[in-house]
Amino acid sequence: MKSRLNKKIPFVAITVLAATALTAQTFMHDEFGLKARAKNNDRSWLAGDHHVHSEWSVGWDYSTNPPTPIQAGDAIYPIVQNAEMAREYGLDWITSTDHGGPNHSKVNLEQAYPELLRSRDEVPEVLQFYGMEFDTPAADHSSLIIPKGENESEALYEIETQFNKQEPYPNDGSRDTESNMIAALNHMKEMDEVPLLFANHPSRSATGEGEWGQDTPQEFRNWNDTAPNVAVGMEGAPGHQAGAINRDGSLDPNGTRGSYDKSPTMGGYDQMTATLGGLWDSMLGEGRHWWITASSDSHVNWRDGGSDFWPGEYAKTYVKAEKEYDDIMEGLRNGNVFVTTGDLISELDVKVQAGGRSPLFARSNGNSASFGETLTLPGKKSDVNITIRLKDPDALNANGDNPAVKRVDLIMGAVTGEAADPANATNSTTKVVKRFTEDDWTLDGEYIEISYTLKDVDQDSYIRLRGTNTDELEPELDEPGEDPWSDLWFYSNPVFINTSK
């Protein structure tokens, strides 16, 4: 097998020129209390996973009253083992997200949390957030991430006891309402330390393209409207991606990626993310700050007969941050994030700016914006300069492969304001502006460099990036038995562009 150490892989940089100086804004929803994130040159790309289960995602013995939790009845690994494997597969941070059930708040408080504290001591190289997979009222599951602090255990206990739909026993279903979810979000956004919430596997219960299940566009808009500093996004690449891999490494012809049995993933990504001009683009077209992530949803590894990869073994969520808890939380909250599968890339930087042409990543008189940020152009019409750096690491991934980026797509859509129909899941303006291949970039060691000019931008817009090791122009539906290692993609979060009108 050829080692990546002997391969010169590119550094990707895309440049879009804007004719005049601009003002950078970090958030478009300041009226909702969202705070700008200060520029910090000491930040680096930190890989993580916000959706990891331990043995405290329990089973239940319903022969007792109340039901008795069965340790390792669902997920099977100790919290420290998850952290050790996360370290082995190159993660800087993870979140422990055990899901609930009857009186599960006590399991989290009395069992899971003390083990998390021990795991932090034993594996200090990996920052370990406390949270849970929230049994979301009137919806599917969500990753709930609690800011690290002295009161983190009490904060989660408070949320789980009051709002988690599976917490009461007996459960009469009265908590399983959207009004309860809105109440939960109103509570969370007023907490001293504000948590984060990402919708997990949002289309896993969908029955077809745009035929939504437990999660709907209306709910996501309502959540984001209610608490834009809490409900900030969804899993773009869900977990359970090893569903087609047997214990011996062979492929199960009936296995599916993500446990998406009714409406398949597309290149390993949820249809809400992967459909060009689909649900995600419809929300970005409103100017919403709605970010995507990737996770393992680790319960039982494929080597032990499960359908999961270890944290970091396959999917990674990269956050541009200093390696400390608060900055990672704010990076996630502000969308300075990209996601990848199979270690296709390990860095992805973008600079969007107005001003004269300048050397790649050189200092400029104009301000600039990156993922999750917004630029305001100085006039009604401007050229826009976008610079992108992409690192395709010169190393083998966890499967022993050395995947290479074949193409990078620059995607653009118009921002036209609030959707008239909250159920809208399309944005007809979204398109691939340019598909870049090796003929369009220059190589510099492990990096690729690309330059491109968006001419005469005269409408509020957003751009985002996507790339793959495949020849597919658009990600195709994943067939049962597909090898996830052969079909790799990365996605960036958006950069918004405002025109002065």
Task: List, as one string, the DSSP characters of 263-294.
Answer: S--BTTB-HHHHSTTSHHHHHHTTT---EEEE
C-alpha 455/C-alpha 381 separation (Å) is 9
Q: Which helix (H) or strand (E) holds 160?
A: helix 152-163
Contact assessment for residue 404 and residue 410, using Cβ atoms and an 8 Å cutoff:
no
> Which pLDDT value is given to residue 366?
52
Residue 193 has pLDDT above 90, yes or no: yes
Mean pLDDT of the chain: 91
pLDDT tier at 297, thresholds 50, 70, 90:
very high
Three-state DSSP at 29 gives coil
Name the nearest CA neighbour of 313 among 323, 301, 305: 301
Contacts of 362 (CB under 8 A, 6+ apart): none
C-alpha 300/C-alpha 2 separation (Å) is 30
Q: Helix crossing, 79-88 with 113-122: angle to 10°?
A: 40
Contact assessment for residue 139 and residue 179, using Cβ atoms and an 8 Å cutoff:
no
Question: What is the token pair recorded at 306?
Answer: 């499960």
User: What's the whole-model pTM score?
Assistant: 0.92
Residue 178 burial (CB < 10 Å; 0-12/13-18/19+)? Answer: middle
Q: Please give the distance of CA 59 from its chain centroid, rounded to a whole number.
A: 28
Positive or negative torsion for Cα 186, 189, 190, 195:
positive
Residue 82 has pLDDT above 50, yes or no: yes
> Which pLDDT value is given to residue 32?
40
C-alpha 331/C-alpha 115 separation (Å) is 26
Positive or negative torsion for Cα 109, 112, 114, 116:
negative
Q: What is the mean pLDDT of residues 25-31?
A: 38
pLDDT tier at 194, thresholds 50, 70, 90:
very high
pLDDT tens by residue, 449-500: 988 989 999 999 999 999 999 999 999 999 999 999 999 999 999 999 999 7
Catalogue all structural domains in the chain, each as residue range(s) with its CATH number. 4-498 (3.20.20.140)
Three-state DSSP at 384 gives strand
Q: Are strands 23-25 and 431-436 parallel, antiparallel or unpaired?
A: unpaired
What value does the CA radius of gyration of the chain take, rounded to a whole number of Å?
22
Contacts of 453 (CB under 8 A, 6+ apart): 15, 16, 17, 383, 384, 385
C-alpha 147/C-alpha 52 separation (Å) is 16
C-alpha 305/C-alpha 486 separation (Å) is 21
pLDDT tier at 380, thresholds 50, 70, 90:
confident
DSSP label at residue 177? S
C-alpha 7/C-alpha 348 separation (Å) is 19
Angle at 441 between CA 315 and CA 464, to 5 degrees: 50
> Which pLDDT value is given to residue 363?
40
> Which pLDDT value is given to residue 191?
98
Q: What is the mean pLDDT of residues 107-122?
A: 98
Contact assessment for residue 384 and residue 37, using Cβ atoms and an 8 Å cutoff:
no
Q: Please give the distance of CA 282 from its chain centroid, rounded to a whole number.
A: 17
pLDDT tens by residue, 300-353: 999 999 999 999 999 999 999 999 999 999 999 999 999 999 999 999 999 999
> Which pLDDT value is given to residue 35?
61
Q: Are strands 347-353 and 489-492 parallel, antiparallel or unpaired?
A: unpaired
